Amino acid sequence: MQAAPGDSMSPRARFAHDLTEYRKSAKMTQAALALRMRCHESLISHIETGRRAPTVDIAEEADRTFGLDGHFVALFTRIAQSPTLGWFARWVEEIEPRAVILQSWDPLLIPGILQTPDYARAIFQTGSAPDRVEERVEARIRRISIFDGACPPTFLALMDEGVLHRPIGTADILAAQLRYLLELTRHPQITVQLVPVVAGCVPGMMSAFALARLRDGSEVVSADSVLSGQVTADHDAVVQLKQRYDRIRADAQPRFDTQQAIEDAIGKWTR
């Protein structure tokens, strides 16, 4: 079932097609395959229909289940190298799904993993080619699926209070985004804390960054800037951003105060 010469399928479409074909050849239902691959049946359905991208763990389990020598892992690698995500592909497709702890700092926007489609679309429409906007929106919003697994990571999201008052899209779009964010603050694996404006120029005000601790104990960071970004496990970079994160969090509001600030902002944008 390898791709034939001249195959025009994208790596993601090929993954979905091949998973379906191998499953049917093995005379397995989606439920049976999910049991063998130790995941939810709905996840198999979503991957086969293209509604979700596979993770590296799913690729490895598929190869194990069907006795293949890296076929699905190779397809996953091609998906992760997609130009849609650029340098950030490694973080989204390889690091986030394997993390036990995620931490992020965002001084300007709601974190990508917590964005609604409309909010993400409003962001991408300002700087992406029109024919790429929906692809980028889909790539962004499917990241929330990491919390659907059997062992979801703990996520600590710090953001500047100004994100509640920055009119991304219309007032209705921002209000809907804030209602969704408020809902996520009650998720058992997600902690959202706002850094109040009165904290002044906190460390890291100029750029967003994220940290991840993986299952094997290793740590990786991603840092974004206007012209470039990087994903690295360099020890010095990890230590520097961990220290910066701790200093920022020292100024953050408790969870209850953060929820109240979000509720107040919702009221402002729905008047």
**Does 99 lie in the same domain as 63?**
no
**Does 122 lie in the same domain as 63?**
no
**Does 91 lie in the same domain as 76?**
no
pLDDT of 2 strictly over 70: no
Place of tokens 């190869």: 63
At which of 80, 108, 132 does a domain end?
80
Could you tell me the strand order of the sheet in which 209-214 lies? 190-195, 154-160, 99-106, 209-214, 219-224, 229-232
Domain count of the chain?
2
Assess if residue 5 is contained within a domain. no
Residue 187 phi/psi, 5-degree rounding, is -70, 135
Assess if residue 257 is contained within a domain. yes
**Does 74 lie in the same domain as 95?**
no
Name 186's Cβ contacts closer than 8 Å, sequence gap at least 6: none
Closest CA to 98 of 267, 233, 266: 233
pLDDT in the model for residue 226: 54
Question: Using 50, 70 and 90 to split pLDDT, how confident is the model at 3?
Answer: very low
Assess if residue 6 is contained within a domain. no
**Does 17 lie in the same domain as 136?**
no
Are the beta carbons of 143 and 96 closer than 8 angstroms?
A: yes
Residues of the domain holding 56? 11-80
**Does 121 lie in the same domain as 63?**
no
Query: For position 19, which CATH number holds?
Result: 1.10.260.40
Exposed/middle/buried for residue 246 (C-beta within 10 Å: 0-12, 13-18, 19+) = exposed
Pairing of the two strands 154-160 and 99-106: parallel
Maximum separation of any 2 CA atoms in the chain, in Å = 62
Assess if residue 36 is contained within a domain. yes
Residues shown for the chain = 271
Assess if residue 4 is contained within a domain. no
Name 213's Cβ contacts closer than 8 Å, sequence gap at least 6: 99, 100, 101, 219
N- to C-terminal Cα distance for the chain? 57
Are the beta carbons of 15 and 78 closer than 8 angstroms?
A: no
**Does 164 lie in the same domain as 55?**
no
At which of 60, 80, 100 does a domain end?
80
What are the residues facing 220 on neighbouring strands?
Answer: 212
At which of 41, 65, 80 does a domain end?
80
Structure tokens at 109: 């926007």
pLDDT per position as a tens digit, 205-257: 778 999 999 988 889 999 876 555 788 888 888 999 999 999 999 999 999 99
**Does 224 lie in the same domain as 145?**
yes
pTM of model > 0.75: no
pLDDT in the model for residue 82: 55
pLDDT per position as a tens digit, 51-99: 777 888 899 999 999 999 999 999 887 776 554 445 566 688 778 888 9
